[in-house]
Amino acid sequence: MLETESFWGRRSFPRFPADRWAGRATCLRLWGRERESTPGPLLCGRPVPPAGPEVEGQPGAVWPGPGRLAGAAECTMLSCDICGETVTSEPDMQAHLLIAHMENEVICPFCKLSGVNYDEMCFHIETAHFEQNELGRNFERINPILYGTSDNRRDSAQQSRMEVHASIHSPCASNHPNISAQSQPKDGTLEHQAFFSENLTESRKFPGSKEKQSDLPKIKGPIYGTVYSPPECPFCGEIEDCTQDMETHVKTNHANLLDTPVKDCDQPLYDCPMCGLICTNYHILQEHVDLHLEESSFRQGTDRVQYSRDLELAHHLQEEEDRRRAEESRQEREEFQKLQRQYGLDNSGGYKQQLLRSMEREVNSGRMHPSEFHRRKADMMESLAIGIDDGKTKTSGIMEALHQHYQNAAPEVRQVWLSAAVDHFHSSSGDKGWGCGYRNFQMLLSSLLQNDPYHDCLKGVAVPCIPKIQSLIEDAWREGFDPQGATQLNDRLQGTKAWIGACEIYTLLTSLRVKCRIVDFHKSTGPLGTHPRLFEWILNYYSTEREGGPKVVCTSKPPIYLQHQGHSRTVVGIEERKNRTLCLLIFDPGCPSREMQKLLKQDMEANSLKQLRKFVGNLKHKQYQIVAVEGLLTAEEKIARRQASQVFTAEKIP
């Protein structure tokens, strides 16, 4: 005990009496074994099997220790139930238990449970692995009886039992440094089939006689009666005769506590109507269905919340869409009203109303005397009544002045072609901003009235005022000309500031039996958006022979109506310069009379022609349309043209 005392002195663990260690070691059996009454003072194990044949068949006998002869002084060898280690004394066994099993971690040999103390591990094996525990213990006790009569094979059987015993305890024995790692399974567990395979192997190796085999049932009864304890149900405590009966009992009476339902059992089964799960108990099924209902209720509540959110989002999106559409509608309405104002369709009055408001502003600002206002108003009313322009915006004699200028000056010009005589009409305060088309028609008509071939056709016609021109266009619509244009302008021009373009000029001239055509230069034909083909077409219109003629050619051709986006002008001639470039001569209704009258001076300056000259690089609008007069129409041709105007078409270049 001095050695043991010194060992305790070196340890930091609490010191326990030897009798307490002995009692603890005796009670704690890893395999759940009951206490056995074995001869000799055993601490925690069973006697080591005899080492020689002289002690065979003597139960409870003591045998010599290692290295001693039979008959020598008796020594009790103690074997550890956990790892199979043998020691010679109880103090050595106490030290072995403390070092190998108490301090180190205890691991369950069946399921690798760890982290519990020794008592808890014993209780775990007794309750969770009682079948494997009983099976291993029964095989351990039956093997000596079944194979104990083989004299010549006793050593090998004893060795096999020791190997099985060591393999059973290998998870715990691995804590001991003396145990080889080769005896341990790779996964640290041992299935109970190992016991069957070992015993079957022994029976194959040493088949006995029929008599010995027939004695087995006789021996089996008393053996099981003495060493076999019947299994107890872990759920209700009922005891059965064998393991198979206990398994049937558990699967039959406690199937609701198992993971899988029992097959081929008379107990009724219940299917879940929602998911198809099979239950063996009605109450379990009811709880299971209640969970389904709670989940469904929760999902419905979630769905209602989600539906409320979706509905709120839908209302929000609809409100945004309504606001967007309202804003777009407002913008479209404003743009349309802007276009109506721009093109004079906003019902704000026509030529008469605009002229009166303009004169009133001048009176209010002091620039016009009231008497002058009334005089001008009377003149306007008289002009509107007879439908003839009062001539206050007309400038005559410009074409003659141009002919004289080119004859005496303009050395840079190689040749020039001038149209027939034409008067210039500019916009007044009554049509400012929208009357360019009407003023260009007045210029064109003034040339036709001075041209003998057209004078007979237009007999009795004078240059009309703007309201009269609007009335003439409405009359042409009523005759059936250009129904699409009439629809676009609401079949009404009088009393409005509606713009007119090439189509209305064509309609009006055709209704007056003047033969003309529309040519559409719908895209540029030169670099940088220029239209050189337009200049070439106008040159071909005015000139017949370009070579060998005089420098100034006064033709009988009427001027050309030139329309582009937002404005219209009148082409009265074309120049061909010495560098072979072309230049148009254009009357612009936006040019006031005082500027045009500068062209009537005898000493006309070259700078005065700048307002008339337009080179190729000056005309860069995307599209240009011209109305060119080509003669007179017969009555039949007029009817044909009226029918053709149902679907308006134009000649396109290019």
654: cis peptide before it, omega within 30°? Answer: yes
CA distance 567 to 570: 11
621 carries an active-site annotation = no
457 carries an active-site annotation = no
Q: Most distant CA pair in the chain: distance in Å?
A: 171
CA distance 547 to 453: 27
* Phi-psi label, residue 520: left if phi above 0, alpha if psi -120 to 50, beta otherwise: beta
Crossing angle between the packed helical segments 466-479 and 502-511, to the nearest 10 degrees: 70
Strand residues in 18-172 grouped as ranges (E) = 78-79, 86-87
CA distance 4 to 274: 69
Decide if 426 contacts 593 (C-beta within 8 A): yes
Burial of 646 (0-12, 13-18, 19+ CB in 10 A): exposed
Q: Which pairing describes strands 651-652 and 514-521: parallel, antiparallel, or unpaired?
A: parallel
Query: Which member of 44, 108, 436, 465 is catalytic?
Result: 436
Q: Which two tokens stand for residue 304?
A: 């209602």
Question: For residue 98, what is the DSSP state?
Answer: I
| AA identity, residue 427 | S
CA distance 386 to 596: 27
Q: Which two tokens stand for residue 12?
A: 């930091």
Q: Which two tokens stand for residue 601?
A: 């001076």
Q: How far is CA 168 from CA 132, 162, 268, in A?
A: 11, 10, 41
Q: Which two tokens stand for residue 454?
A: 């057209």
Q: Which two tokens stand for residue 338?
A: 């802007």
- Stated as kind and residue range, the H or E segment containing 561 is strand 560-564
| AA identity, residue 343 | Y
For 201-221, b where at least 16 C-beta lie within 10 A, e where not — what string?
A: ebeeebeeeeeeeeeeeeeee
Q: Which two tokens stand for residue 9?
A: 């002195």
| Other CB atoms within 10 A of residue 161 CB | 18
CA distance 170 to 107: 10
Decide if 44 contacts 21 (C-beta within 8 A): no
For 432-464, b where at least 16 C-beta lie within 10 A, e where not — what string?
A: eebbbbbbbbbbbbbbbbbbeebeeebeeeebb
Query: Which member of 92, 567, 591, 621 is catalytic?
Result: 567
CA distance 221 to 211: 17
436 carries an active-site annotation = yes
Burial of 289 (0-12, 13-18, 19+ CB in 10 A): middle
Alpha helices in 345-458 (DSSP H): 351-365, 370-386, 398-408, 436-449, 452-455
Q: Which two tokens stand for residue 447?
A: 């040339």
Alpha helices in 512-571 (DSSP H): 532-542
CA distance 403 to 20: 147
Where in the sequence numbering do the catalytic residues fall? 436, 567, 588
